[in-house]
Amino acid sequence: MKALLIVYFLLLLPILPQQDMASNFYKALSSKEISIIDKQIKELQNLETNSQIRAYQGAIIMKRSSFEEAVKDKIAMFRKGHTALEEEIVKFPDNIEYRFLRLAIQENAPSILGYNSNIKTDKLIIIEQYNNLPQTLKTHILNYSKDSKILSSEKLL
């Protein structure tokens, strides 16, 4: 029994930091405080890079761009984040989390940027796949949908 518990915790250990990372990321993404967003950017930079980290970096950098004062800086930063997120979506088009990140950014991006062409497609895919998603991602999507004008919680449930 003791050995079984040890094996269980050893298997669970790698999952816990990922859940904390995602939780921290989504808190920062929904934050209106630049210090929280900047802290998240630094935390992501310190992690070993993989597809999820690159997608998170892209989304949080796009969010961070809204705090830049100069329009030129806003656009440059937004494009940098846009490129990172879109590259991951191209590589992994079936990744619902990446599509959710894009939908959330597109819904909140200024229309002048013209970054809104995937909202309908991403919304449909998210709704269709919602019940098949991990519970933690479902929770993040559901929380987002409470304030979203595009993705309503009624369509998810």
Residue range 108-132, pLDDT digits in tens: 999 989 999 999 999 999 999 999 9
pLDDT value of residue 157: 83
Q: Helices (H), strands (E): how many in the chain?
A: 9, 0
- Mean pLDDT score of the chain: 89
Tell me how many degrees the CA angle 32-157-91 measures, rounded to the nearest 5.
65
- The pLDDT profile of the chain, 157 residues, written as one tens digit per residue, is 544 334 343 444 343 345 588 999 999 999 999 999 999 999 999 999 999 999 999 999 999 999 999 999 999 999 999 999 999 999 999 999 999 999 999 999 999 899 999 999 999 999 999 999 999 999 999 999 999 999 999 888 8
Start-to-end Cα distance in the chain? 39
Q: Which residue in this structure is represented by tokens 């993989």?
A: 50
Q: Residue 60: how many CB atoms within 10 A of its CB?
A: 25
Q: Is 0.85 topped by the overall pTM?
A: yes
Q: How far apart are CA 132 and CA 22, in angstroms?
A: 18
Q: Which residue in this structure is represented by tokens 């990744």?
A: 95
> Which DSSP string do the residues of 92-136 spell out, in sequence order?
-TT-HHHHHHHHHHHHHS-GGG---TTHHHHHHHHHHHGGGS-HH
68: left (phi over 0), alpha (psi -120 to 50) or beta: beta
